[in-house]
Structure 1
Amino acid sequence: MSALTRFNPFRSSTWDPFREIGELENRLEKYFGKPLIPGNGGKETMAIAEWAPLVDITEDAKEYLVKAELPELKKEDVKVSVEDGDLTISGERKFEKEEKGKKYHRIERSYGSFMRTFTLPEGVAAEKVNAEFKDGILTVHLPKDEKAAPKTVDVKVQ
């Protein structure tokens, strides 16, 4: 018997529970406007977080659409690949060069390498996947295979 698996865009192929806890802590800090665990005598602490671009995944009758926010990146800095049923988006956002006489008072944006991997749902035509990059938004089109499209069959009842 074959099992049906529903596509879950929130499931990444590599799950890291510590990253999940860190993301929850960051969300709560943003909501309450202060760190959950105060340090330095109650002063605001600063930490550099791992960076992962935010992604929206939608579906219509013809395709799945993945949109990733990649501000200040060039398309040369981003790689999109489909392999073994996984879509992988990777790249790197580099920190600005330090300038003499310039003081940094706060650095909240994250920098460095990132990789997001998503399991493709059944019925995606992997050989027809294409991507476009414009204004800091990466859009990946995952067309559905025509063979996998649901068909309507009229049944005559007698």
Structure 2
Amino acid sequence: MALIKYNPNSYRPATFSSFVDKFFDDDFFGGKRASSFSPKVDIAETENEFELQFHLAGVNKDDIKIDVNDDRLTVSGERKFKNEKNEKNYHSVESFYGTFSRSFYLPDNVNLEKIDASYQDGILNIVIPKDEKKETKKTITIK
């Protein structure tokens, strides 16, 4: 079973009108876009483990939280905007800032006790080892 991505914040406008409303409400005038940030995540699988790499440039390690609840791994935190008082007039800010939360459903064959996380150079690396004791496939004989 593969690792399944779960993102409750995904948004697809139903109509062009709702797209225009979202653009002017959220993006253009610094609304929700300025307060929400969704980091990119690379997911890889080997024979022995899953590896998740979160791209979190500009986020302090202390501002990141990793939780496992039942069969769901959640990484949340905040990327803070440092508005320094030094006569800078921003004409454009293309970086995303604010809080984020990304969740992933975990398959049954992982060992939750041995999950390891490290953070270096803006990359949060989470390694989730597979548990050899749990079978992922089984063939059932029909009687």
* Pairs aligned (count): 127
Task: Determine which structure has the larger strand proportion and give its number.
Answer: 2
- Tell me the TM-score normalised to structure 1 length: 0.69
Shift in Å, 1:108: 1.4
* Long gaps (5+) in structure 2: 138-143
Q: Which has the higher relative contact order, 1 or 2, with Cα contacts under 8 A spaced 6 or more apart?
A: 2
Aligned to 2:83: 97
Which runs of structure 1 show a deviation greater than 6 angstroms over 4 or more consecutive aligned residues?
none
- Tell me the TM-score normalised to structure 2 length: 0.76
Structure 1 Cα separation of the partners of residues 47 and 3 of structure 2:
17
- 1:1-158 equivalent positions in 2, closer than 5 A: 6-10=1-5, 12=6, 15-16=8-9, 19-21=10-12, 37=20, 45=28, 47-48=30-31, 49=33, 50-148=36-134
The alignment's C-alpha RMSD in Å is 2.8
Structure 2 Cα separation of the partners of residues 150 and 7 of structure 1:
10
* Long gaps (5+) in structure 1: 1-5, 26-35, 152-158
Higher CA-based Rg? 1
Aligned to 2:140: none
Shift in Å, 1:74: 1.8
